[in-house]
Structures are given as C-alpha cells and as structure tokens.
Copies of this chain bind each other. A is one copy, B any other.
Amino acid sequence: MAKIKKQPRPKAQTPKGFQDYFGADVTARAEMLSTIAGVYHRYGFDALETSAIETVEALGKFLPDVDRPNEGVFAWEEDNDWLALRYDLTAPLARVAAQYRNDLPFPYRRYAMGPVWRNEKPGPGRFRQFYQCDADTVGASSVAADAEICAMLSDTLEAVGIDRGDYVIRVNNRKVLNGVMEVAGLSGDDKEAERGIVLRAIDKLDRLGPDGVRALLGEGRKDDSGDFTKGAGLSETQADLIMMFVEANAAVDRKLLSSQAEANDLEDEKTRAIISKRVAEVRDAGSVEARKVLNLPVESLAARNRVTLRYLSEVVGESNVGQDGVAELEQIAKLLESQGYGPDRIVIDPSVVRGLGYYTGPVYEAELTFEITDHKGRPRNFGSVAGGGRYDDLVKRFTGQEVPATGVSIGVDRLLAALRATGRIDTAAQGPVVVTVMDRDRMADYQTMVADLRNADIRAEVYLGNPKNFGNQLKYADKRASPVAIIAGSDEFDQGIVQIKDLILGAEIAKNATLEEWKDRPSQYEVPRDQMIAKVREILDRNN
C-alpha cells in the first residue's frame, strides 16, 4: 500500500516535560496575571518585558543545585554566541538595570510576568516551562523596600482570592545566617564551598528534618535509595552553632514555655497549650511540622516575634553582620505593623533561607496554610507559592558597582492550582450558543442569526461541521458545554420563527424529572425570529 519515497509521519506529541493548556486554564491564568499586575501597578511598579532569549553570559549561573556549566538551562550556539532561554525573570532584570542605568528612574520598581524555562528532568507536576510573576525594586538599599514587597505580596494574595488567615509570609535575613557562619568560623573566602553546602542543607529542613540537615553539616548523608551526599565536613561545635539557627523556631517555642521572663510576653493558656504541643511534635517528628503555621492570636505572634529577635541576637553574638541582620528584621516588622500588616500575615521566621546563593539580606516566602488532599488522598499543607529576597550583587556583575535590589517571584501556576484545589476559581467554562444547521443552503441565514447574537454581546457560533447528522450537532453542543441551541429548518423560516433549546434545563430534566414535571417545564421554546435575542438572554440569565 505504501508509496515509494514516503517519509515517516512526525509524532503529534508535546515535547517531554512540556504541557498544553486549554480554554479556562488559559483564561484563568490571564485573569490572575491581570489582577496581580493591577496590584503591582498600584504600588508604583512599572511593567517590563524582556525577550525569552538572553546571552548565556548575561544570564550567569545562578540556578540552585546546578554545578556544571549551562546545566539547568536550554542553551545553544548561534553565530559564535551562546544563547539561552531565561530560567527566571531576575537575571534579565539585572541585565536591564545595568544596560539602561542612565535612563531609568532609580529606585526602579518593575514588574514582569511570563514563562521561564528549566532544563530539568521532568516529573509529575514538574514542568520545564512555567510562569513567573515578579516584582523588584532596584537601587533602594533601605529595608523599607523589602517591607514594601512583603506588604504588596500580602495584598496580591488576597486580591487573587486567598483569604486572610489562609496564607502567611515568613521573613528572615541572610545576614543573620552569615553572622552565624562567622561565629562558626565559616566566613573566609576559602570557605565558599562549605557555605554553599550549609545553605542547601538548611533549605532542605522541610524534607530531611533536623537530623538529616545535621548529617549534611557533618560528613554527609545516605538517603533511602542508598545514594550518599557529601556533607560540609564541619566540626561538632560548628554544626551545633548552625543547628541553633536551624532549630530556632523550636528553641523560641521552648523559651516561651520554660522561661518566666519570656512567658510574660505570652500569658494566655491557649497559646501556651498550642506551643507546648508543637514543641513535642518537633521533638518527636523533627519534620515539616516545625514550619506549620502557628495558629495563634495576633498579639501572641507579635510577642513571639520579639522573642525570636532576642534569640537570634544571642545566636549571632559578636558578629556585626549578624546583629545588622537582626536589626533589619526588627525594622521590617515595625514598618509593616505601621501599615497594618501584623504578624498574622507577615511573620519573622528563621527557618526561611531560600536556596539561591545570590541573596544578601532579607529573604521572604509566602506559604498557603490550608490543607489540600494530595494525589494519594492524604491531607497536606499546600506550601510555598512565592518567594524572594535582597540580592545586592547581581547588577554589580555587569557594572562593577554595587546596586542594591530586592524582589519577589510568584509561582503563578502553583497559585492557580491552589485556587483550583479549594474551589476558589471556576474551571467550568460556559460554552457558546450553538446555531444548528438544518438546511445547508440556508447558511447565510444562520450566519445572520449568529451575527445578531454576537452583536448583542452573546457568545455564539454556527455549527460548521457536516450538518447531515443532526444528532452530531447536538452532541457537539454538549461537548462545547453550550447553554442554548438554536434550531430552524424550512418550516421555521416559512413561519418566521425559531426553536430555542435550553440545553442546561434539558439535561437536568432528562436526569431527574418525572413525566409530569417534564410536561410542566418544557426546555424548548418556539419564538418569533425577532424575539430570539430576548429569549436567549432570558435563558442565559436564568442559568447564571
């Protein structure tokens, strides 16, 4: 049968790790991006759109857990230049801030939204193209800029439909961690590798628990599969110091319970009971529970903030950078409270470190605190949907001059998934009114009907498939989730009428009604042609 020279057919397949999005999934994302852009704009941020492609040298190598050159990115050579798809929106911003440094207003507040690409092994729910939505302030060294981003993030989450109480923004400061490193004797230029391992180990607290982190600070850790990850090789004393930071939350809780002085900050029985339970959980499980949101009254959280700051100040001891970090956290909390963003929304949390190596000051993370059911039916916290921090050295790569910068990135697709999982966005799209075709030669008349409907701002279409089998047309309307079908054959045209079928009511009746009810509630109406629009609108309004 095959002809000669016939080429094999190409496979119709989305490339591995990529996904196609249809209908309501696309429009829901577009609406969310538009809502977020509205909040960012109100805060004075300006839009920026760079192209998807950058030179490899401009992008730099800032992906977490990536050691080999160009790993993690899609890159190729073009006319002796290496080009790559951006892996985030921060690297392009640093390039823009350097390139247009004489023209942009500084501080430069900008937002950007669009896809980014990661050349990683795809997995379930893990795609190689996904959306980010960033806001950054470049050229402001004051932590007021960090506080502003946290406040804006809080407003943004509420604007897209996350209720207050269903999220928490946790703030920490890399300078505190740097202070701890200094105290532990890890601050020299020759200790960069160790610091990197420590950072990545701490960032895995959620997954590995305190014992796992501790192992990575020392010789290393063998995972369940038997693979061995080399550790930072710290001494016992050094590791103890780092763990004081890692387990700060649990330590603060214990302090609040044991010390009378601290307990004065936190008097009520209920709060003490919650914290007591948590301390036990952390000790027993050493797990993700340590980061669960504290379900405490806002005054108790404010008190807890104060105890946390005192504890961190003790841990960093004599380190100047460490004390700077604590002071900055204190100032951020104060600025936020003055604008009405209390610790029930934005809280100081030493367990947040963020994996990226380039952060230099405050770091922050937004977590959704409601439970969802995972794919195995188990309840779990939804987790992080946004994060960011201060990175004062990214622009310096280009210009040699330090340019302070801070910003946040929202994982739009995760946020959409969260809203969908909790029924906060409606993914059932309303289909168009379908004008069916009874008589192929009357196509011009059907087109006129559909034009009338559209001109009345009603979503409508004429059936454009082969009209021979009328059943197929109704099946099509069903697949399209059409609320209404219009039917007209030569009889109707002769009499100047149309048949209007309420498909939603029709489906309901077919499912539930008795014969009596069916007679009382007809789902098909015969109306004069000039009343078509009015009747359709009546049905649509009833169904909304």
A interface residues, Cβ below 8 angstroms from B: 9-16, 18-27, 29-30, 34, 37, 41-44, 46-55, 57-58, 60, 74-76, 78, 81, 83, 85, 95-96, 98-100, 105-107, 109, 115, 117, 119, 128-129, 137, 139-142, 144-145, 147-148, 151, 155, 334-335, 338-340, 397-400, 429, 431-432, 434, 443-445, 447-448, 451, 454, 457-466, 476, 479-480
- Minimal Cβ-Cβ distance residue in B for A449: B339
- Minimal Cβ-Cβ distance residue in B for A446: B144
Give the docked Cα–Cα distance between A129 and B49 (Å).
Answer: 12
- Whether B400 and A9, one on each chain, are in contact in the complex, defined by CB atoms closer than 8 angstroms, is yes
Known: A11-B58, A52-B115, A105-B479. 12 other contacts (CB 8 A): A10-B57, A14-B99, A15-B58, A15-B83, A20-B49, A30-B37, A30-B47, A43-B459, A51-B129, A52-B117, A339-B444, A339-B447
Q: Which residues of B contact A119 (CB under 8 A)?
A: 78
Give the docked Cα–Cα distance between A501 and B95 (Å).
Answer: 35
Give the docked Cα–Cα distance between A51 and B129 (Å).
Answer: 7
- Whether A465 and B140, one on each chain, are in contact in the complex, defined by CB atoms closer than 8 angstroms, is yes
- Whether A9 and B53, one on each chain, are in contact in the complex, defined by CB atoms closer than 8 angstroms, is no
CB A445 to nearest CB in B, in angstroms, measures: 7
Q: Copy number of this protein in the oligomer?
A: 2
Could you say which of B43, B128, B129, B466 contacts A454, with CB atoms under 8 Å apart?
A: B43
Q: Is the interface of A mostly helix, strand, loop or mixed?
A: mixed
Give the docked Cα–Cα distance between A462 and B143 (Å).
Answer: 13
Could you say which of B128, B338, B443 contacts A142, with CB atoms under 8 Å apart?
A: B443
Give the docked Cα–Cα distance between A399 and B13 (Å).
Answer: 12
Q: Which residues of B contact A37 (CB under 8 A)?
A: 27, 30
Could you say which of B15, B24, B83, B106 contacts A74, with CB atoms under 8 Å apart?
A: B83
CB A348 to nearest CB in B, in angstroms, measures: 17
| 29 A/B residue pairs, CB under 8 Å, sorted by A | A10-B58, A10-B60, A10-B398, A12-B96, A12-B99, A13-B95, A14-B95, A15-B81, A16-B81, A18-B53, A20-B51, A21-B50, A23-B46, A27-B47, A43-B460, A44-B431, A44-B432, A44-B459, A44-B461, A51-B129, A74-B78, A74-B83, A139-B465, A140-B464, A140-B465, A142-B464, A144-B464, A335-B447, A340-B451
Give the docked Cα–Cα distance between A400 and B2 (Å).
Answer: 12
Give the docked Cα–Cα distance between A443 and B58 (Å).
Answer: 35
- Whether B49 and A21, one on each chain, are in contact in the complex, defined by CB atoms closer than 8 angstroms, is yes
Q: Which residues of B contact A18 (CB under 8 A)?
A: 50-51, 53
CB A460 to nearest CB in B, in angstroms, measures: 6
Could you say which of B47, B85, B429 contacts A46, with CB atoms under 8 Å apart?
A: B429
